[in-house]
Each structure stands twice: as C-alpha cells, then as structure tokens.
C-alpha cells in the first residue's frame, strides 16, 4: 500500500548519509574518532556530564547496574509497565526486579507506592520516562538520597525531554538513553550512559569492551569478565547528524501530539495519555481503547491497517510475562499496568508526518472501533 502510514518511521537526511559514506571509505568503521566526537557532543548537550556511548540501550542499563555494584541478592525498583528490557537487565545481573504500579495516564512509576516497596535489599530505583514524559524525578531523587539508593533512569524514550526546564540526563545520578531506529534520535542501534563518577565511567569503558584495560603498547589486563557493547563509528556518524536537529524534530512531534488532543478535545472513545507540558518529547502517542465496551484490540489494529494506518502496542505489563510469573508475580497486583497492557495502542507519530496525517488517523479511528466490536 503506497500511502500506508506506519506508527513510526526514522528520518535520516542526505548530508548524514553522505557522511556515513565518508566514514565507510575512511577505513575506520568500528569505534574510533566519530565515537569520541559523538560522546563530546552529547556531553555538551547534557551540560558537561560524562557520556559513554554503547551499541544499544539494553547494554547501557545492564552496565549501569553493574558499575553501581548491583548483583545477586539485591533488589531494584522498576515500574510494572515498560519494555521488558527494563526488568530483564535487573534479572541478568542477578538482582530481583521489584515492580511498582504506574499512573493510568502518565504510564510513569507511581512515586507514592515506591517507598512501601523498599526493603533492606533495595539498592536502586529505575524510573522510566514513558513515551518521553518525565517521571517525578525530584521526588525519586530525594527518596533515594534519604535511603542511600542509586537512581538509574531508563531514559530510552526521553532524548530531548525536560523537567522543570532541566534536560533529562543533565542532572540526577545516572541516565541511560536509547538511539534505536524508532527513537527521537537514532544511530540505527545504540545507547548512552550519562552521569556517574569518574571511576564509574572508567568501569563503563571496560565493561563495554570485554572488561579490558590497556596497560601498555603490548599488554592489557582483563579486570572482570564482560561482553562487547561498543558503538561503531558508522553509527556514531548518524548520531552526529541527528543531534543538531533534535530540538526541531521534537518540536514537530509536539505539534502532532497537540493535533491529536485538539481533534479529540471534545471527548471521544479513546482515553488519551497525560499531555504534560513542553518538556514532553513525545516519543510515542499511546491512548487506551475501550476494551471493556467490547472492542477487540487485534480487530482494531487489523481495521486500521485496512485503512492504511499502522498501529503498535507499547507495552504489555511486565510482571505477567512467564519469566516474571516464575518469580512469584501474578495477575491483579498492579491494576493500572495491567489495564494499560490490555488496552493500549500506539498511533502514528513521527516528524515526517503532516497535521493532515493526524486527521486521517483520527478519522479512521471511529469506524475501526465499530468494526472491532463486531
């Protein structure tokens, strides 16, 4: 279908493509000068904080946990609603993810429930800035300060988001960003760890490349076993082309989200997400379907696709996956996350869209809902 509108589409401009070709011809395509250049540019973006880039954000989260000393026997507070990588990385370092419910409209961790979930084994809180809406970070940081905990932000959705005029990643403890193909800024695949101490940054460098520390021109040491998660220069080059346009691209995302709200301002069949303010960077636009009124989500998605509109699902509640049921989690523990998981759909939102594309999505929604009830 030539006019099919996907729920997301990456945008890479021609100058960036030309620069990638230059890197490919340079003979240095793995980690090298472009990685260093991107790390410096990101450090400037985040107010001079330490930045190290990696091959993907999942590795960033896992390595962040490791450099914070989190491992077997420890617990980490995570929201019950996120992409499953948020919980998986905790389990992979041997710790236990302790789920907390989220706000029905914000989709962010319910800070009022966090303190009651802390135990003597809690070592960190991992808030997620869902869809680009900043979590209540000040309250989380204050709680962590009082209880001696680390805060590792899953900022995969939040590149360019801000809270009270402060850019997410420019303050706090440690933040991990994603540059996946569908994110607000892409390196195709990639991630970054922002913040931490000088020694922790040195540990990130080791852990992203086999735990290796170079001693001299002909010697190296392996400080601790690790994998490989270094970003190639080809990817870094794409990031360098994206970063200068991030504010403009996020502004377009906000205009598109505003259009959705304007079109549904008088009320409608969908429950819209929290609108936030100008600090919301709108990685996703994910309303809830009226499933309790008989709408079948799979049928709705099929009906929208028949009208040339792609629809995603972000996300199922994590504690209901088999891997976490095996840890003792069960249905009914986190009702908001479970409801969102049942009802959520992700509608198209990406910078190359026009306002008329939003209108087209809205116009297709009512007949698709009607068909999905049959």
The answer on 333 and 296 residing in a single domain is: yes
DSSP state at residue 326: T
Q: Kindly report the number of other CB atoms within 10 A of residue 105's CB atom.
A: 17
Which of 215, 244, 273 is the C-terminal boundary of a domain? Answer: 244
pTM of the model: 0.97
Which of 190, 224, 244 is the C-terminal boundary of a domain? Answer: 244
Q: What is the DSSP string of 20-66?
A: HHHHHHHT--SSSHHHHHHHHHHHHHTTT--EEEES-HHHHHHHHHH
Which of 196, 229, 244 is the C-terminal boundary of a domain? Answer: 244
Domain count, the chain: 2
Q: What is the pLDDT of residue 1?
A: 45
The reply to whether 1 falls in a domain is no
Q: What is the pLDDT of residue 374?
A: 74
The answer on 143 and 103 residing in a single domain is: yes
Rounded to whole angstroms, the Cα distance separating 119 from 371 reads 48
Q: What is the pLDDT of residue 269?
A: 83
- In tens, the pLDDT along 11-53 reads 999 999 999 999 999 999 999 999 999 999 999 999 999 999 9
The answer on 286 and 188 residing in a single domain is: no
Q: Which domain holds residue 223?
A: 14-244
- In tens, the pLDDT along 265-290 reads 766 789 999 999 999 999 999 999 99
The answer on 166 and 37 residing in a single domain is: yes
- Residue 3, Cβ density class (10 Å: 0-12 exposed, 13-18 middle, ≥19 buried): exposed
CATH assignment at residue 268: 3.90.1150.10
Residues facing 317 on adjacent strands: 81
The answer on 347 and 284 residing in a single domain is: yes
- In tens, the pLDDT along 282-336 reads 999 999 999 989 999 999 999 999 999 999 999 999 999 999 999 999 999 999 9
The answer on 280 and 356 residing in a single domain is: yes
The answer on 189 and 154 residing in a single domain is: yes
The answer on 232 and 270 residing in a single domain is: no
The reply to whether 5 falls in a domain is no
Rounded to whole angstroms, the Cα distance separating 61 from 63 reads 6
Strands 212-216 and 191-195 come out as unpaired
Catalytic residue among 34, 183, 214, 228: 183
The reply to whether 2 falls in a domain is no
Indicate the average pLDDT of the chain. Answer: 96
The answer on 284 and 135 residing in a single domain is: no
The reply to whether 340 falls in a domain is yes
CATH assignment at residue 209: 3.40.640.10
Rounded to whole angstroms, the Cα distance separating 206 from 221 reads 10
The answer on 332 and 273 residing in a single domain is: yes
Q: Alpha helices of the chain — where are they, by DSSP H?
A: 14-26, 33-45, 57-67, 85-92, 111-114, 137-147, 198-207, 233-242, 246-263, 297-306, 322-325, 335-343, 355-372
- In tens, the pLDDT along 88-130 reads 999 999 999 999 999 999 999 999 999 999 999 999 999 999 9
pLDDT at 259 > cutoff 50? yes
The answer on 36 and 90 residing in a single domain is: yes
Q: Under DSSP, is residue 240 helix (H, G, I), strand (E, B) or coil?
A: helix
pLDDT at 235 > cutoff 90? yes
Q: What is the pLDDT of residue 266?
A: 60
The answer on 49 and 145 residing in a single domain is: yes
The reply to whether 351 falls in a domain is yes
Is 214 in the active site? no
The reply to whether 76 falls in a domain is yes
Q: What is the pLDDT of residue 267?
A: 64
């Amino acid at each position: 279908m030539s006019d099919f509108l996907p729920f997301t589409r990456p945008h890479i401009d021609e100058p960036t493509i030309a620069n990638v070709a230059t890197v490919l011809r340079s003979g240095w395509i793995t980690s090298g000068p472009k990685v260093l250049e991107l790390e410096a540019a990101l450090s400037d973006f985040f107010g001079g904080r330490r930045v190290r880039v990696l091959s993907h954000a999942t590795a960033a989260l896992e390595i962040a946990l490791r450099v914070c000393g989190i491992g077997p026997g420890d617990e980490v507070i995570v929201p019950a609603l996120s992409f499953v990588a948020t919980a998986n990385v905790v389990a992979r370092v041997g710790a236990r993810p302790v789920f907390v419910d989220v706000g029905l409209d914000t989709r962010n961790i319910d800070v009022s429930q966090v303190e009651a979930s802390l135990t003597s084994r809690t070592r960190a809180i991992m808030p997620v800035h869902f869809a680009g809406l900043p979590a209540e970070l000040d309250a989380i940081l204050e709680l962590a300060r009082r209880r001696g905990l680390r805060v590792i932000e899953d900022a995969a959705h939040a590149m360019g988001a801000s809270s009270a005029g402060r850019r997410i990643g420019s303050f706090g403890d440690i933040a991990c960003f994603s540059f996946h193909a569908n994110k607000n800024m892409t390196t195709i695949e990639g991630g970054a760890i922002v913040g931490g101490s000088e020694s922790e940054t040195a540990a990130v460098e080791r852990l992203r490349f086999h735990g290796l520390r170079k001693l001299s021109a002909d010697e190296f040491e392996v400080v601790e076993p690790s994998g490989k998660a270094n970003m190639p220069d080809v990817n870094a080059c794409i990031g360098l082309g994206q970063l200068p346009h991030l504010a403009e691209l996020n502004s377009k995302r906000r205009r598109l989200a505003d259009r959705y709200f304007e079109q549904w301002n008088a009320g409608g069949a969908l429950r819209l997400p929290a609108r936030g303010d100008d600090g919301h960077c709108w990685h996703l636009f994910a309303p809830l379907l009226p499933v309790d009124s008989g709408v079948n989500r799979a049928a709705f998605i099929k009906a929208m696709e028949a009208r040339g509109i792609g629809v995603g699902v972000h996300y199922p509640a994590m504690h209901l996956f088999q891997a976490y049921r095996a840890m003792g989690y069960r249905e009914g523990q986190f009702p908001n996350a479970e409801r969102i998981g049942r009802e959520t759909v992700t509608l198209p939102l990406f910078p190359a869209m026009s306002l008329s594309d939003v209108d087209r999505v809205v116009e297709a929604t009512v007949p698709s809902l009607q068909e999905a009830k049959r």
